[in-house]
Amino acid sequence: MRPWHFRLGLFFFSLLCLLTYGPSAYAQDPPSRVALLHIDGAITPMMANYLHRGLQQAQREQVNAIVVQMNTPGGLSSAMDDIVTDFLQSPIPVIVYVAPPGARAASAGVFITYAAHIAAMAPTTNIGSASPVFLGPSGEATSPDQTMRQKVVNDAVAKIRNLATLRGRNADWAEQAVREAVNITADQALQLHVIDLIAPTLPDLLAQVDGRVVKVATGEVVLHTRDAQVIPISMSLSERFFQLLTDPNIAYILLSLGMLGLFFELANPGGVLPGIIGGILLLLGLFALGNLDANWTGVLLMAFAFLLFLADVYFPTHGALTVGGIIAFALGSFLLLSSPASPVFQVSRLVIATVVGLISGLFVLVVLLVAHAHTRQPATGREALIDQIATVREKLDPEGMVFVMGELWRARSINGPVDVGERVRVVAVEGLTLLVTPELEVGSPGHLPTLAPASLERGWRPLARRLMQSVIGVRSSRV
């Protein structure tokens, strides 16, 4: 065979091989991707909305698996049910990973862990304490009768046993977690087959679950997660904001500030800004309390307290209404979110003491300033003329003219004639006529000491008066 024939044959043979085997030889499978969501904090309706949105986004991006990293003390059963339903209906495998080290999956977190297709924990984490908390119509923790308690507990047991059977996990321990509130470590959970594996890090978790076959809503799926690209799906800004509002301490502070803003608006109508800010804060506080199943008796007590504060500004009760308001506000604060069986929904005692102390101090100051305003010498009107010193401009015999406070007034002397230029003291007002008496010398019998106007403007009283007028709009004059 001639050399050029050999080279031509080799060329066509190579081309045939390339066309036949090239696509399969050089094509690569698309890289696997895993979505990462976080549960960090109480299980609330806003958290359930975030997970629902995250699962839908993961489906649109066609990821291979969804990892939910969880650290929760528990939360509301209604929000938990929504999350469990989303996990059960997910066509993509969901892996619940209790992490980082030191995290926990308590109460509602146990049900969420059991609902996942694969359950994993990091070292030094724990899981358990899934006993249901009983809430009354007002949101307070209650002690129901034995029959009602048995119904609720049995319902929770049936729910978690169904999840355990579906995922092939320890149903007996799950029942103990509900009935006896037992709690175990990650190592114990693995030994008792409560979870599927322990992984110190997320890459290690993805490597361990690679190749596992799980059954989802649409059938069996083989996981391909080793060295997968992690796609974080975080809370949106609005979800973070409203999740932050569901913190019991923040909800309590918002409610208190909202009522305080409305008080300033009602005490000094026309301010506008305190009313706007107070209304916004109050609505945000009520939204947060609605998500937390608050005790509405506590809310009503707090509102009643501010009504008492407002009434004490306008009625001369000598502070009695303020004392009642402080008591009502303190009781409402402790009743607001005080479930002893669920620390997740308790307001910090330190926060309550701080807010009650500040609110009480503010209104005690307001009452003192109002009381001081009612005892001050009138500054305007005819009553302000009483005890003023006037100069005689037309002889009083017994009537004449006097000059007082920058004006000429007709006056009548009640102690004999008074010559022009003499100084007299106003003792009464009859219509448009002043009743006067000769000014007594300092130290003489019957002299009434007066406080110089300049001395009134020194010290804390002018500052307190200006503060009072700017905050509550109380005038210093009397009618």
Residue 336 lies in a domain: yes
Residues 390 and 420 in one domain: yes
Q: pLDDT tens across 365-394, in order?
A: 877 776 666 565 555 566 677 878 899 998
Residues 50 and 140 in one domain: yes
Helices (H), 90-236: 108-115, 146-167, 171-179, 186-191, 202-209
Contact 342, 133 (CB under 8 A): yes
- Of residues 77, 90, 107, 342, which has the active-site annotation? 107
Residues 326 and 444 in one domain: no
Is the confidence at residue 339, as pLDDT, over 80? no
Most confident of 136-140, 304-308, 359-363: 304-308
Q: Residue 14 — pLDDT band, cuts 50, 70, 90?
A: low
Q: pLDDT tens across 51-90, in order?
A: 999 999 999 999 999 999 999 988 888 899 999 999 999 9
User: Which pLDDT score, from 0 to 100, does residue 470 have?
Assistant: 46
Is the confidence at residue 479, as pLDDT, over 50? no
Q: pLDDT tens across 235-251, in order?
A: 999 888 888 888 888 88
Residue 10 lies in a domain: no
Residues 90 and 193 in one domain: yes
Residues 161 and 290 in one domain: no
User: Which pLDDT score, from 0 to 100, does residue 26 have?
Assistant: 40
Q: Which CATH number goes with the domain that contains 423?
A: 2.40.50.140
Domain boundary among 349, 375, 401: 375
- Of residues 14, 151, 234, 348, which has the active-site annotation? 151
Residues 45 and 164 in one domain: yes
Contacts of 393 (CB under 8 A, 6+ apart): 400, 401, 402, 403, 408, 420
Residue 1 lies in a domain: no
Q: Give strand ranges (E) for 182-297.
A: 183-185, 197-198, 213-216, 219-222, 229-232
Q: pLDDT tens across 124-173, in order?
A: 999 988 777 644 434 444 444 567 678 888 889 999 999 999 999 999 99
Q: 459 or 348: which carries more pLDDT confidence?
A: 348
Contacts of 412 (CB under 8 A, 6+ apart): 396, 398, 399, 430, 433, 434, 435, 436
User: Which pLDDT score, from 0 to 100, does residue 30 have?
Assistant: 60
Residues 198 and 293 in one domain: no
Q: Residue 454 — pLDDT band, cuts 50, 70, 90?
A: very low
Q: Residue 119 — pLDDT band, cuts 50, 70, 90?
A: very high
Look at the chain and report how many structural domains it folds into. 3
Residues 453 and 427 in one domain: yes
Q: Is 159 a catalytic residue?
A: no
Residue 27 lies in a domain: no
Residues 339 and 457 in one domain: no
Is the confidence at residue 447, as pLDDT, over 80? no
Is the confidence at residue 184, as pLDDT, over 50? yes
Q: Residue 343 — pLDDT band, cuts 50, 70, 90?
A: low
Residue 17 lies in a domain: no
Residues 282 and 317 in one domain: yes
| Closest alpha carbon to 51 in 84, 98, 15 | 84
Domain boundary among 340, 375, 410: 375
Q: State the residue range of the domain holding 39.
A: 33-236
- Taking each continuous run of H as one helix and of E as one strand, the counts in the chain are 16, 16
Average pLDDT, integer, range 100-126: 94
Residues 257 and 366 in one domain: yes
Token digits of residue 239? 């979800």
Q: 244 or 91: which carries more pLDDT confidence?
A: 91
Domain boundary among 375, 407, 437: 375
The region of weakest confidence among 53-62, 261-270, 337-346 is 337-346
Residue 19 lies in a domain: no
Residues 187 and 169 in one domain: yes
Average pLDDT, integer, range 410-427: 88
Q: Is 395 a catalytic residue?
A: no
Is the confidence at residue 194, as pLDDT, over 60? yes
Average pLDDT, integer, range 277-289: 86
